[in-house]
Amino acid sequence: MANLEVKNKMSVAQFGVLVTAAMFGGQIIGLPITLVPQAEQFAWVSVILGGGVFFTAAWIMMKLGELYPDRDFTVYLPELLGKWPGLAVIGVFISLFLMVTWLNFNQFSKAVAFFMFDRTPSDVIVMGMLGVVVYCALQDLGTIIRVAEFTFIVSALMMGTIWVLGIFNFQPENLMPFWTDKPLGILQGTISIWGVYGGYEIILLLFPLIDRTKGNLTLALAAAIAFVVVTSIVIVVLTVGVLTVEGVKSESYPTLVVVRSVELPGTFIERLENYLLVAWIPSVFKTLAIFVYVISQTMTKIWGFADHRPWVLALTPVIFVGTTVIDGLELVKLVDKAVTWLGLALSWGIMPLVYFWAKRRKRGVASGGG
């Protein structure tokens, strides 16, 4: 890529990392508590099935983008569906990302407050992270991509290293029985983990910015989903293998408990859950920064602004208030459920229909023109 001009385009590989960074973040710590009660020992099967399901959804969105290669969804949806229906779909997209952002901030601040600052209000933690996220989202896309790449690689390496240490307490028999009488639970688990895969929807906005002359975009998407599948399998298998299914159900943060239980006698390292949390901070940060950028950029396009930065600043209080309003376990669960269904509706309801409608119209235009 040329170097002197502003870098607002990205290569396929860069997009692959960006979409992985968007998916691999806030919800990864909470995965076992969401999935294991439903799928129990077979949580890993749900993870694999989920990978297939959400890869297909992402692939449909990519195909939709290919029909309008130079335009993003804020341009082609109103053209395709009409102004108000188009804006309604964009509204669903924005609401989804906004709610996921609230949820991620909320869960992150609660976890950090619980393990690191038991006397500090979680709002203070939200404020700190929000400031950093806003600083990043105020940058141009080129910078955000590079920050996301840097933080993703560093945090994934750190988290992976710490997580793997959980193998010291791993007991394979905890994964038994190797068959289930609750196949429905596995299927329920498959769709309930949208939050772990959520983030691939950014392709709707960023597709025209991908330089597709080199590299295979489908492969990049597959690699991104595969990365999340592998890490999620490692997490659920290790968590169940160390804590058992019942143990996971009784813990608020089973992943951190798994790491906490690791002892490395004769070394300098103790209380590994703090290290894991430290490694998790940049991971959550990059996901949130990408989300805030995507929301602000979408708003910028809808309202015809030239610069996304005023929208980042306008969103800051909305994110803070939304995060602090979601208080209490029941409300968090409710929002989590709403986000999951909204995500599923967008990925498996609206966008496939839009894709078929667009394809039909394109075919009609082609046959009419020919």
Of 6-14, 26-34, 201-209, 319-327, the window that binds another protein (rule: CB under 8 A) is 6-14
Establish if 158 lies at the interface with another protein (CB under 8 A).
no
Establish if 135 lies at the interface with another protein (CB under 8 A).
yes
Contact 196, 31 (CB under 8 A): yes
Contact track, another protein, 242-271, x by CB under 8 A: --------------------------x-xx
What is the distance between the alpha carbons of residues 34 and 323, in angstroms, rounded to a whole number? 20
Rounded to a whole number of angstroms, the minimum distance from the CB of residue 320 to another protein is: 16
What is the distance between the alpha carbons of residues 321 and 112, in angstroms, rounded to a whole number? 19
Establish if 241 lies at the interface with another protein (CB under 8 A).
no
What is the distance between the alpha carbons of residues 186 and 144, in angstroms, rounded to a whole number? 36
Cα–Cα distances (Å) from 8 to 1, 153, 261, 292, 342, in that order, read: 11, 21, 45, 17, 30
Rounded to a whole number of angstroms, the minimum distance from the CB of residue 81 to another protein is: 35
Is the peptide bond prior to 85 cis by the omega test (within 30 degrees of 0)?
no
Near another protein by CB under 8 A: residue from 282, 300, 311, 326 = 282
E strand or H helix that includes residue 243:
helix 217-250
Establish if 316 lies at the interface with another protein (CB under 8 A).
no
Establish if 114 lies at the interface with another protein (CB under 8 A).
no
Beta carbons within 8 Å of 340's beta carbon, 6+ residues apart: 191, 192, 194, 195
Structure tokens at 318: 């909305």
Rounded to a whole number of angstroms, the minimum distance from the CB of residue 171 to another protein is: 26
Q: Which residues sit at the interface with another protein, rule CB under 8 A?
A: 1-7, 10-11, 13-14, 16-17, 112, 116-117, 120, 124-125, 128-129, 131-132, 135-136, 139, 142-143, 145-147, 149-151, 153-154, 268, 270-271, 274-275, 277-278, 281-282, 285
